[in-house]
């Protein structure tokens, strides 16, 4: 059932954030990526603050998201020597599956922004924040269906997330030369990135199959014990 809060978060995060990124690039250009990155983070927090206004505040929810983001950041650093083979997408998706769409989006966006303090900030950062954030949000919606514990669902999601992330970053690649989106450049970027897309899919599958059950069980226990993300 679609609640008012769900409709609001879909409009804000799935439509508002991409629109914010597009307007920001047109007005500020890609050199103001810090401004765009902070703006995306602020918007990503809005659904949580609205939820806190509607119920008794529970800071534990933000603590859990911070912990999942920290684990995701550590995983990205740990596998830095393997280009494209990172647990970020899997951990973001698991957060969404277990804690909900808004938590998934915020974890993905936070991970991209914070980990790039180490890997390097740039005009690609807002695109990573948006792409990983949307993957987490979609995972949260799928988590409500109750099918994501099945192995075939994880396989399909791994394929989808790998293609989605690669295509999202290829949009930035297509725009990086001229600042304008061109279909020819986008298609060329998609083709060039096919080997990396394959790596993304494989890494998503490996990390989801290994991490999904143990982390989801722990997150579910935390939710039940403290009454979080209800």
The CA R_g of the chain, rounded to the nearest whole Å, is 17
Can you read off the two tokens belonging to residue 143?
């988590």
Residue 100 is classified by DSSP as: -
CA distance 107 to 105: 6
- pTM here? 0.91
User: May I ask the CATH class of domain 4-226?
Assistant: mainly alpha
Can you read off the two tokens belonging to residue 46?
């809005």
CA distance 54 to 216: 26
pLDDT tens profile 90-144: 999 999 999 999 999 999 999 999 999 999 888 889 999 999 999 999 999 999 9
pLDDT tens profile 160-172: 999 999 999 998 8
Can you read off the two tokens belonging to residue 101?
């769409």
CA distance 19 to 42: 14
CA distance 123 to 31: 7
Residue with tokens 């983001």: 69
pLDDT tens profile 17-56: 888 888 887 777 666 777 888 888 888 888 877 766 666 5
């Amino acid at each position: 059932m679609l609640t008012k809060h769900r409709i609001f978060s879909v409009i804000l995060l799935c439509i508002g954030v991409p629109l914010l990124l597009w307007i920001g690039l047109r007005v500020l250009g890609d050199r103001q990526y810090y401004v765009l990155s902070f703006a995306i983070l602020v918007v990503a927090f809005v659904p949580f603050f609205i939820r806190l206004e509607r119920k008794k505040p529970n800071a534990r929810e933000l603590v859990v998201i911070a912990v999942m983001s920290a684990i995701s950041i550590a995983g990205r650093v740990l596998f830095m020597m393997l280009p494209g083979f990172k647990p970020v997408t899997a951990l973001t998706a698991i957060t969404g599956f277990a804690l909900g769409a808004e938590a998934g989006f915020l974890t993905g966006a936070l991970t991209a922004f914070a980990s790039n303090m180490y890997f390097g900030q740039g005009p690609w950062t807002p695109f990573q924040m948006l792409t990983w954030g949307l993957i987490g949000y979609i995972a949260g919606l799928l988590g409500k269906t109750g099918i994501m514990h099945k192995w075939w669902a994880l396989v399909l999601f791994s394929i989808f997330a790998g293609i989605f992330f690669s295509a999202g970053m290829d949009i930035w690649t297509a725009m990086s030369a001229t600042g304008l989106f061109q279909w020819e450049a986008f298609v060329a970027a998609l083709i060039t990135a096919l080997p990396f897309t394959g790596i993304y899919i494989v890494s998503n599958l490996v990390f989801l199959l290994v991490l999904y059950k143990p982390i989801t069980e722990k997150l579910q226990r935390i939710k039940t014990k403290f009454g979080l993300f209800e």
